[in-house]
Amino acid sequence: MEHTSLSHLCTVRLNETHDGVVIVDQTQLPRHEIYLTLTSIEQVWEAIRKLKVRGAPAIGIAAAYGLYLSARNIHADDFATFFRKLQHQGHYLATARPTAVNLFAAIERIERCAQAHTDAPLSQLPDLLRQEADALRNEDAAACHAIGTHALTLLQPGMGLLTHCNAGHLAVSEYGTALAPIYLGQEQGYDFRVFADETRPLLQGARLTAFELQRAGVNVTLICDNMASLVMRRGWIQAVVVGCDRIAANGDTANKIGTSAVAILAHHYGIPFYVLGPTSTIDLHTPTGSAITIEERDPSEITSWGYRHPMAPEGIKVYNPAFDITPAELITAIITEKGIARYPFTELSEWKVNP
Ligand code: MRU
């Protein structure tokens, strides 16, 4: 099940010769569709940090391939030395961004794969790690399609849907999480009317969500973040669908800054608020949302990024958190590839413990 109009748009994959990670540079969208081939772990780190590749699952996939690339260049005479060097590179990659758990989970998974092959010839280890990264990417694609199928059971034809940030094809291997039921519904004639929050300050909603939905032929309307209340009040929204960067054990969810405000609005207007993401985004080591590290980014993203002239007085104090936490009680359901969970979200630990 590949969406034809998006299938050529490559978020992240390994190249044919297995020596580079191909990404579409998301900082250039929607004006330019430029592909980059990243050939070193430093380039992968920079691409993640600068949001050239972004979205929790896509960051994890890029990291897995990045660690594989670095493994190809490790010189070691024994497994212990190989693994120490691999871990060192893993620690480095983990500093790229702090909030999406998929980054850390992917690094751990590649390291676990190496540890499972202590007796393999050292020359074969990079290939084994590449296969593990491929498996991670394939599992993500399957998860996205399953999320779409489960989520569509909660939606009816003709509904108005609001989404925030970008949890679509550009945030994952393919298809998306929050946008997966929209694409599936599109294929089945559901005729959704989608409203995309522009998502200040970096405009992932305007630059990425509006771009990919429009390209797929979905009926999409772009609004500023501060217009969501009016659009809900007018009765144009029957459900909110968002992605996630980390789901704590109790269901508290970190997602793009502004998500919790949308949840509060949805609660006020009695509109269901759905979080969609793969189980790889659930972090049972994080008991509640308060324990999630929230990335703070450069002030210039608020004062001058994307503007012809600075839009704030020089030297102004700026606070620029990139994520916020939506409390579990404001989430109507969390939809993963395993199914639909509702408050108090006991399924989250069952899904993780019995994958
Ligand atoms: O800073 P970004 O663009 O990486 O933030 C992305 C989000 O918050 C997405 O909603 C989230 O990663 C969901 S990805 C399917």
DSSP type of residue 21: E
What the block records as the tokens of 287 is 């008991």
For atom 13 of ligand 1, which residue has the closest CA? 243
Annotated catalytic residue 119: no
Place of tokens 């979205």: 55
Mean pLDDT of 167-178: 97
d(CA 182, CA 28): 24
pLDDT band, residue 184 (cuts 50/70/90)? very high
Checking if the pLDDT of 5 tops 80, the result is: no
Q: Where are the domains of the chain?
A: 6-142, 150-353
State the burial class of residue 355 (Cβ atoms within 10 Å of its Cβ: 0-12, 13-18, 19+): exposed
The burial of 92, by beta-carbon neighbours within 10 Å (0-12 exposed, 13-18 middle, 19 or more buried), is given as middle
CA dist., res. 257 & res. 324, Å (int): 5
Pocket probe for ligand 1: among 29, 54, 102, 274, the residue whose CB has the most ligand atoms within 8 Å is: 54
The CATH code for residues 6-142 is: 1.20.120.420
Question: Looking at 50-59, 315-324, 335-344, 346-355, which range is the least confident one?
Answer: 346-355
3-state secondary structure of 195: strand
Neighbours of 188 (CB within 10 A): 10
Among 333, 310, 58, 48, smallest CA distance to 176 is for: 58
Mean of per-residue pLDDT scores for the chain: 96
What share of the chain has pLDDT > 70, as a percent?
Answer: 98
What's the CA gap between 150 and 117, in Å, rounded? Answer: 36
H or E stretch covering 289: none
The set of residues, in sequence order, having a beta carbon less than 8 Å from that of 303 and lying 6+ positions away, is: 310, 311, 312, 316, 318
Strand pairing of 160-163 and 239-242?
parallel
pLDDT of residue 155: 98
Residue 177 has what pLDDT? 98
Ligand 1 cavity residues, CB under 6 Å = 51, 54-57, 100, 165, 167, 171-172, 177, 204, 243-245, 255-256, 322
- Give residue 256 CA to ligand 1 midpoint distance, Å: 6
Residue 93 banded pLDDT, cuts 50, 70, 90: very high
Q: How far apart are the first and last CA of the chain?
A: 23
Q: What pLDDT is attached to residue 3? A: 47
Cβ contact 45:96 at 8 Å: yes
pLDDT at 2: 44
Band of residue 8 on the pLDDT scale cut at 50, 70, 90: confident
What would the mean pLDDT of 159-176 be, rounded to a whole number? 98
pLDDT attached to residue 352: 87
Same-fold call for 6-142 versus 150-353: no
Q: At the topology level of CATH, where does 150-353 sit? A: Rossmann fold (3.40.50)
**What is the rounded CA–CA span in Å between residue 150 and residue 96?**
32
pLDDT of residue 1: 40
